[in-house]
């Protein structure tokens, strides 16, 4: 049986990293082979350019940084596909949905959601994207913003709006939205149920890996 592609998305402070780790642990303890990834992957040369940009140490034109984020996924695409075909499930903290909404949130006149999606076409498509939904009020309770580029209220409000636009687009069936306002354990339980359902569906129906 092939591995599955499970992605977490959501705003900063929604709890993606924690829930991602917990899901990876749960699946491993059930005997699944699991690879845990995150984008941006700051360990590659392209990832280091992205890191410098996010930390305010370099400037990049909007389209350029968008394409670097996309290239950072493409440089991993072959190995993602190979692992899935070899039976390893991949759990990723952020993927091309973040790529589209964060760039489109800048209100650049050319770089809208449609433009943003083009360079992502052909990437392995998630079997499920678990969207951890947090209200701006709950997010604020989790503490202040960090110092990175997009961690400000104006960007977060636009990102939130664009994520909901994406979830009512042709991509809507890729998403399972989970209320991330509950306790870690409550959220984890919901995440596990969604993940199991997605895994069982792929196996029961013999669904092939699809591409964006
Ligand atoms: P991180 O906080 O998950 O490390 O992500 C860093 C920031 O990069 C976050 O604000 C979201 C943003 N981002 C993009 O703008 N485009 C992308 O393709 C990805 C994966 C993240
Ligand atoms: Mg962050």
pLDDT at 171: 86
> Which atom of ligand 1 lies nearest, measured to the CA of 103?
15
Alpha carbon of 206 to ligand 1 centroid (Å): 32
Complex ipTM: 0.98
163 with 154: CB under 8 angstroms? no
State the chain's mean pLDDT as an integer.
96
Stated pTM of the model? 0.97
**Comparing C-alpha atoms, which of 203, 198, 207, 200 is closest to residue 174?**
198
Pick the CATH number of 5-204 from 3.40.50.300, 3.40.309.10, 3.30.450.90, 3.30.160.270: 3.40.50.300
The H or E element containing residue 178 is: strand 175-179
Between the CA of 208 and the centroid of ligand 1 the distance, in Å, is 28
Ion ligand 2: residue ranges with CB closer than 5 A: 12
Residue 187 binned pLDDT confidence (cut-offs 50, 70, 90): very high
Furthest CA-CA distance within the chain: 49
Site to probe by mutation for ligand 1, drawn from 54, 146, 162 as the one with most ligand atoms within 8 Å of Cβ, is: 54
* E strand spans, 61-102: 89-93
For residues 35 and 11, give the distance between their C-alpha atoms in angstroms, rounded to a whole number: 23
């Amino acid at each position: 049986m092939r591995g599955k592609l499970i992605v977490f998305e959501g705003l900063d402070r929604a709890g993606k990293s924690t829930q991602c780790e917990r899901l990876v642990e749960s699946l491993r303890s059930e005997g699944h082979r699991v690879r845990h990834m995150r984008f941006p992957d700051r360990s590659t040369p392209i990832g280091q350019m992205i890191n410098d940009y996010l930390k305010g140490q370099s400037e990049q034109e909007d389209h350029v940084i968008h394409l670097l984020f996309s290239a950072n996924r493409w440089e991993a695409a072959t190995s993602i596909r190979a692992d899935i075909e070899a039976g390893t499930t991949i759990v990723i903290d952020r993927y091309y949905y973040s790529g589209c909404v964060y760039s489109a949130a800048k209100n650049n006149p050319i770089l809208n959601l449609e433009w943003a999606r083009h360079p992502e076409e052909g990437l392995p498509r998630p079997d499920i994207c678990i969207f951890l939904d947090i209200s701006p009020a709950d997010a604020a309770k989790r503490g202040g913003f960090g110092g990175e580029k997009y961690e400000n209220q104006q960007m977060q409000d636009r990102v939130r709006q664009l994520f909901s636009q994406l979830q009512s687009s042709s991509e809507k069936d890729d998403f399972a939205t989970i209320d991330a306002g509950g306790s870690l354990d409550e959220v984890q339980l919901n995440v596990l149920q969604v993940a199991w359902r997605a895994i069982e569906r792929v196996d029961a129906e013999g669904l092939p890996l699809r591409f964006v």
